[in-house]
Structure 1
Amino acid sequence: MSLPDADRELVTAELGRDPTPAEAALFENLWSEHCAYRSSRPLLGAFESEGDQVVIGPGDDAAVVALDDETYVTLGIESHNHPSYVDPFDGAATGVGGIVRDTMSMGAYPVALTDSLYFGEFDREHSRYLFEGVVEGISHYGNCIGVPTVGGSVAFHEGYEGNPLVNVACLGLTSADRLVTAVAQEPGNKLVLVGNGTGRDGLGGASFASEDLAANAETKDRPAVQVGDPYAEKRLIEANEQLVDERLLVSARDLGAAGLGGASSELVAKGGLGADIDLDAVHQREPNMNALEILLAESQERMCYEVRPEDVERVAAIAERFDLGCSVIGDVTDGNYVCTFAGDGDRETVVDVPAEYLADGAPMNDLNAEAPSQPERDLPDADLGEAVKAVVGNPNTASKRWVYRQYDHQVGTRTGVLPGDDAAVIAIREAGLGVALSAGAEPRWTEIAPYEGARAVALENATNLAAKGATPLAAVDCLNGGNPEKPDVYGGFSAAVDGLADMCAHLSVPVVGGNVSLYNDSAAGPIPPTPTLAMVGTTEGYTAPPATVSGDGDLLLVGATGGALGGSEYLAHAGGSDRFPDLPDDAASVLNALADVAGLESTLAVHDVSHGGLAVTLAEMVGTDAGVEATLADDLALFEETPGRAVVETADPDAVRDAFDGVAPVEHIGTATDEGALSLTVGDETLRYSAERIRELRSVIERELA
């Protein structure tokens, strides 16, 4: 680790002296891109984050949104990209642990997880190694702590070969009277560290996440990856719940990036306060740790609490009950952020800096951006049958059952709509509502058209909610990009941010928090701009119309087509190029109508149209004993991926037409049948696939990894 010369000059000028080694390391980590958002913060003002339902927006460990006057949910999202390349199991597992502790620090109990995963091409051995390790890490940690993983996405693209992405979101549940924040409140209160002992794992993790991956990262950077203990996390979850129930916490922050130094300094800085910390008091699991190691180790399963002096004894008793370490490490003050350390020698002051300058003083970067451009139309002449098999059977569009079957997605008994549908639905019985969740991005979209593709990502996630009858409530984003110092990379990233922000604003969905991960660049090149969005909405019940047909209704395509194939799986298979499809001018009205239709008794099934187009949508709607017979105009109609559309199986077509009257087109494309098969007539060519053949095509991941 090394503090850049330009930053060192600023710190020296502020302090009036050279920083100590521990101070330099703290500034190097807390002023890193990962912590300070030096390249992205100037762009984030594009997001609208306010609304009547928003209790706490961006800036805390997680956002808080009201379902009613008493019941709140928390939303958070985090990336663990570089660690998951170096050590896919531990990197992904500790990503889950971190976002769960972000949830806990708001006084909330974690009730659901989503994971959005991006890897190199599926046919590459290294991509499969990373894929299998990441899924195993997520499933192990999530299953052990008893939090269901209910949704997400998986994408394979050559741009992630040298730098996979692991984006994990968490939904938490709390109430108005249990809310805790990460803002220190009162000088004289104690800082208490609860959880696992501090070791030497994860040293310099924040700075490691703020630079391009080296060719030898898997060996060189292994010490920067944290090692998780989900059973300790489970005990910490339950201890935290009791601490919140007994109103023993004044403020809280989990120990993530930059470890104890990051959590404690940010906690007091948010309150405009300082701290006196005795590093020798920190409970440790390894001998002879020095001050810098104690400050910056990112050992997992630890929380930093502000506690009133009279409550310290009770906090320690609860920690002991759950077999957790507990240290009173210092005091909240109205002065500087000060850390002292003796070790085996004389006590010395190793850190003495203004907390706000340390936590928030990093200067922003002024970077050049090169505006992206879209390709021209050059459509291929592909064999229809081969194209359908390739698109339906591609790992990007195929069933992700192999993934979600490894997750205990029903633990907690709240999961009303299971993984594999457009969106999951979680029962929040405390408010008498269901909360629908959708998460993901489509890298092919944002690769060819960062702005338009990011708008489509937001619309796609909102369409997933509407297909289950949900009204969007709020969203959090995980903005992933390559090296921002490259003008073309920064230009694409900037355009993606603007596109995501613009569509969320149009849909009146406040973006209440998020995460930025840059320098996702390796010897294989930069990743595509990847604006993962996790969006939640509310439903009046805990169930929703299924995505598979019943066999008893008409099939209607609702929503306008965009007239282009750019970013499609079809072009990825057949070659050629095209611009990105046009999106509807009034997408919000389209989604409102779709949500209304999903709630009709006459609606038998609803499934959105997105990646893979109608070819994939119709194939996914086929069941064992019910099928689809559809007629479409041409290849464009079959394969274009314009979001904001859905196929509705209905017993009352007129009711659907009435709901969309004056809003969006409704086209009768076929009927559901009582035979498990897909019959497609495209132009003058008819194709037929049995349910068994569709399952075979769509099980490519499961088959190849068996």
Structure 2
Amino acid sequence: MTTDNVKRAGETPDEAMPYAELGMKLDEYDKVKDILGRRPTSSELAIYSVMWSEHCSYKSSKVHLKQFATKAPASEALLVGMGENAGVVDIGDGWAATFKIESHNHPSYVEPHQGAATGVGGIVRDIMSMGARPIAVMDALRFGAADAKDTRRVLPGVVEGISHYGNCLGLPNIGGEVVFDPCYIGNPLVNALCVGLLRKDQIKLATAPGPGNKVVLFGASTGPDGIGGASVLASATFEDGSEAKRPAVQVGDPFMEKLLIECCLELYAADVVVGIQDLGAAGVSCATTELAAKGTGGMDVTLDLVPLRDPNLRPEEILMSESQERMMAVVRPSDIPAFMAICQKWDVPATVIGEVTDTGRLVMTWRGEVIVDIPPGTAADDGPVYQRPFHEPAGQQALNADTPDSLERPADLKQALLQLLGSPNVASKEWVTSQYDRYVRSNTVLAQPADAGVLRISEHMEGAVETKRGIALATDGNGRYTRLDPYTGAQLALAEAFRNVATTGAKPLAVTNCLNFGSPEDPEVMWQFAEATRGLADACRALGVPVTGGNVSFYNQTGSQAIHPTPVVGVLGVIDDVSKRIRSGFVAEGLKVLLLGETKEEFGGSEWAHVAHGHLGGLPPEADLEAEKQLAEVLVEAGRRGLVEGSHDLSDGGLAVALAEACLAQGVGATVTLGGDPFVDLFSESASRVLVAIRPEAFEELAALCGDHEVPCYGLGTTGGDALVVEGVLEIPVTELRQTHESTLPALFG
């Protein structure tokens, strides 16, 4: 005779449970016992262990992330903010865009191809769960030193995984970053962003209302892949032997995901979905607890009904499995036949596994036994919240005092530029991006190496109202800046993404972020995190853009060695008419070259100091957010008036690299004259600066516009010829620039 599992748990309070093996602390386990009034069953322990993991519960970051809401600027465009699967913003003409960025860092080190591929798959399902059609992806990548043996193992696999999954889905990859630094050895960062489109009155939410409504699991079957992925990989530091954790890495099937996308869109169009949640981290545990907690409070689930790839899986493994390409929907009983018919049409397996209740309990049975009986909100929302101690790192003041002022400056500025242009961080990323399809679906207007990706929106959805609107997206971050000053470094990450969107002529609307840091149990890391979130929240308020959601990735360290604090910020903007987008670089001969913004002597954390001297010290450039805001307003208005033919923001490597990249965009040279110290003018990394190329007759109108916004405007020279010429300083043929810029990554990885 079988024994009720929950009843037995109440009768055996002293039975040892493997909470520590599941990443749970003793005080957390004691809290679970207090909530339940007994010890948990093994299945309940599985649920709490993954739902209360750092990756799922944000237990160390919640107290700081609240600033994104309390300091949030007013925004009429924001339709759905933090707390849902992805944020949603109104982009006009009845359209809404939903976007989000998340990390898949640890899995991508353990198994680069599948770790990166399933990172793409997971963020795409977040967008699907909002009721949207995914229309594009981006990725922000960080690796160890480019010539390191482990980088040669990890990078090709990550790129191949992103390429395989995104290309199979038919989603253009329109931008992102690839950065190398020794601090990321053993802890690469793979941050994936997806954007989707939907009508603004068709938003779906992760909720389970209506007692009697059915709970349907649909998509791929459940297997042993990814078990413990959230708690084992993303919620602990890496130690020796981490590559042995391959079983905790999910395995992706992009062809099933493509069917799932089309199936979901038809289900939404048929209005047969009341609530929906994707199954990502924590799998069935997450989907059931979160849906129930946000609905009428209860759910009954028969776990035996979950379709399995491996019939030997135990209930705990089913609950913790992170098998990919799965969704959970809440459906009215009368709509079940239509729901199932649509799933069958798309060859997507679907099974009713439970029912919504109003009991306030999540109850699960397995082979006739009750194995779970918990208040779902205690797992989904009421996990531990830590006020982690934090203090400034012991060597922070010495680091800031070690300014680059004493570094030897180059006598030959031509060679200094070529050295930078061929360095791994500045060199062309075409070896990577050529593996991605940037133009599938034919709606890509701008893509890498442009400052931001731009997509037209009118042709993405059947029955779409004709519109000339488009959206622009950019991601940015600089770990060296944030290491020197976390508060300012986070602001500079937002400022650059904000500027890159504006450089296309699009108005920045909203922010998503992926905050990558070391262990929250290290007070020095928590100081970096606290300062970075404070800086980012303050910057969002100053620039008038709300945070719509994102991801925190802690434990990015090996032993006691943490990565540089690396907040990656994504910004979404809207452009009224994509035909008026500003193109990238010098697009024709005979244009006047202008520099908008002020140049100061700022070399702390610069690419020049890093490449030429291996130096990191001093302070990063100033983040002048009002100057950034005014510059963006100039660019957006100039784009609307058609005053600017081409543009390029100034960032890594300063004006020298920006000029070279602008020449390389269309193979058009330029001749410019500098007005100050050539080294400072060329290599300073002062923020809030953009190169623009305009028709000579547009100069007076653009100069007046800059004057209205108090944006400095300097005439540098003209475009034309087959070389970059800086009068009296250097002359480099465009062919030499191209050879230097494009040869580095193929030589390392090709």
Q: Same fold (TM over 0.5)?
A: yes
1:231-380 equivalences under 5 Å are 231-335=255-359, 336-342=361-367, 347-371=368-392, 373=397, 374-379=400-405, 380=407
- Give SS of 1:178's match: coil
CA distance in 2, matches of 1:481, 1:42: 16
- Select 1:643's aligned residue among 687, 700, 718: 687
What's the TM-score once normalised by structure 2's chain length? 0.91
Q: Please state how far the C-alpha of 1:69 moved relative to its aligned partner.
A: 6.1
- Please state how far the C-alpha of 1:286 moved relative to its aligned partner: 1.1
Aligned to 2:472: 436
The answer to whether structure 1 residue 656 and structure 2 residue 677 are counterparts is no
d(CA) in 1 for partners of 2:150 and 2:332?
51
Conserved? CA contact 2:296–2:357, under 8 Å: no
Match for residue 67 of structure 2 among 35, 40, 46: 46
TM-score (norm 1): 0.96
Distance 1:585 1:527 in 2: 27
Q: Deviations over 1:606-628 (max 9, x none)?
A: 11101111111000011465212
Task: Report the residue type matching 1:8 in the other structure.
Answer: Y
The one-letter code of the counterpart of 2:440 is V
1:696 to 739, 742, 745: 739
Cα offset, 1:480, TM superposition: 0.9
SS in 2 for 1:603: coil
Cα distance per residue 1:345-392 (max 9 Å; x no partner): xx2111110000111111211212223553443421232333212211
Distance of 1:325 and 1:611 partners within structure 2:
49
Amino acid aligned to 1:140: H
Q: Partner residue of 2:213?
A: 189
| Structure 2 SS opposite 1:402 | helix
Distance apart, 1:523 and its partner CA = 4.0
* Structure 1 residue 597 displacement after superposition: 2.5
Q: Does 1:29 align with 2:50?
A: yes
Shift of 1:484: 1.2
Structure 1 unaligned residues grouped into runs of 5+: none
Q: Distance in 2 between matches of 1:199 and 1:37?
A: 26
The answer to whether the aligner puts 1:13 opposite 2:55 as a matched pair is: no
Residue 125 of structure 1: CA displacement? 2.1
Choose 520-529 or 130-139, whichever is displaced more: 520-529
Q: CA deviation at 1:578?
A: 3.3
- Give deviations 1:143-199, integer Å, cap 9, x for gaps: 001111111111111111110011111111111342210021111111000001100
Whether the aligned pair in 2 keeps the contact of 1:69 and 1:176 (CA below 8 Å) is no
Correspondence 1:381 to 2:408? yes
Supply the distance in 2 between the matched residues of 1:28 and 1:61 (Cα, whole angstroms): 21
Q: Give CA deviations for 1:392-414 in whole Å, capped at 9, x if unaligned.
A: 11111111111211111111221
Aligned residue identity for 1:614: L
Amino acid at match of 2:485: A
Is 1:580–2:620 an aligned residue pair? yes
Aligned twin of 1:57:
81
CA 1:138–1:378 in structure 2 vs 1: closer, same or farther (change >3 Å)?
A: closer
SS of the residue corresponding to residue 92 of structure 2 reads coil
Q: Distance in 1 between matches of 2:93 and 2:384?
A: 39
2:420 is the alignment partner of 1:391: yes
Distance 1:375 1:631, change over 3 A: farther
Q: Quote how far apart the aligned CAs of 1:426 are.
A: 0.6
For residue 212 of structure 1, the aligned residue among 212, 216, 237 is 237
* 2:651 is the counterpart of 1:593: no
Equivalent of residue 546 in structure 1, options 579, 583, 604: 583
Which amino acid is the alignment partner of residue 617 of structure 1? A
- Provide the C-alpha distance between the structure 2 equivalents of 1:316 and 1:254, rounded to a whole number of angstroms: 18
Q: Corresponding residue for 2:648?
A: 607
Distance verdict in 2 for CA 1:507–1:49, change over 3 Å: closer
The structural deviation recorded for 1:600 is 4.0
What residue identity is the alignment partner of 1:382?
Answer: R
Amino acid at match of 1:356: G
Amino acid at match of 2:543: L
In structure 2, the residue matched to 1:419 is: 448
1:98, distance to aligned residue in structure 2 (A): 0.5
**Residue identity opposite 2:655 in structure 1:** L
Q: 1:142 deviation in Å?
A: 0.4
Farther off after superposition, 657-666 or 302-311: 657-666
Is 1:669 the counterpart of 2:716? The answer is yes
Alignment partners' CA distance in 2, 1:67 and 1:615 = 36
Structure 2 unaligned segments of length 5 or more: list them. Answer: 1-20, 459-464
1:462-482 Cα shifts (integer Å, max 9, x gaps): 110111111111111111110
Aligned-pair CA distance for 1:4: 1.9
Q: Which residue of 2 aligns with 1:410?
A: 439
Q: Equivalent of 2:536, from 500, 506, 509?
A: 500
Deviations 1:422-475 (A, max 9, x none): 111110124431101101212222122211111111110111011111111111
Distance 2:713 2:216 in 1: 60
CA distance in 1, matches of 2:200, 2:336: 24
Q: Deviations over 1:502-550 (max 9, x none)?
A: 2221110111111111111114821111111111111122242222211
3-state SS of paired residue (1:629): strand
Partners of 1:107 and 1:154 in 2: CA distance: 31
3-state DSSP class of the match of 1:26? helix
Deviations 1:41-100 (A, max 9, x none): 111122127521111111111111111262111112111001000001000000111111
Relative distance call for 1:49 and 1:198 in structure 2 (3 A) is farther
- Map of 1:223 onto structure 2: 247
**One-letter amino acid of the structure 1 residue matched with residue 648 of structure 2:** H
CA contact (8 A) 1:190 1:306 kept: yes
Q: Within 5 Å, which residues of 2 pair with 1:142-181?
A: 142-181=166-205
Matched, 1:569 2:607: yes
Corresponding letter in the other structure for 2:417 = V
Local SS of the residue matching 2:101: strand
Could you tell me the percent identity over the aligned residues? 40
Query: Does structure 2 conserve the Cα–Cα contact (< 8 Å) formed by 1:375 and 1:448?
Result: no
Structure 2 Cα separation of the partners of residues 127 and 492 of structure 1: 26
One-letter code of the match for 1:86?
V
Distance across 1 between alignment mates of 2:223 and 2:73: 38
Mapped contact 2:172–2:438 kept (Cα < 8 A): yes
| 8 Å Cα contact 2:539/2:625 also seen in 1 | no
1: CA distance, partners of 2:271 / 2:74 = 28
What is the 5 A alignment of 1:426-575? 426-429=455-458, 430=465, 431-523=467-559, 525-543=561-579, 544-549=581-586, 550-575=588-613
Contact 2:206–2:276 (Cα < 8 Å) also in 1: yes
Counterpart residue number, 2:105: 81
**For the Cα contact (< 8 Å) 1:467–1:606, is it kept in 2?**
yes
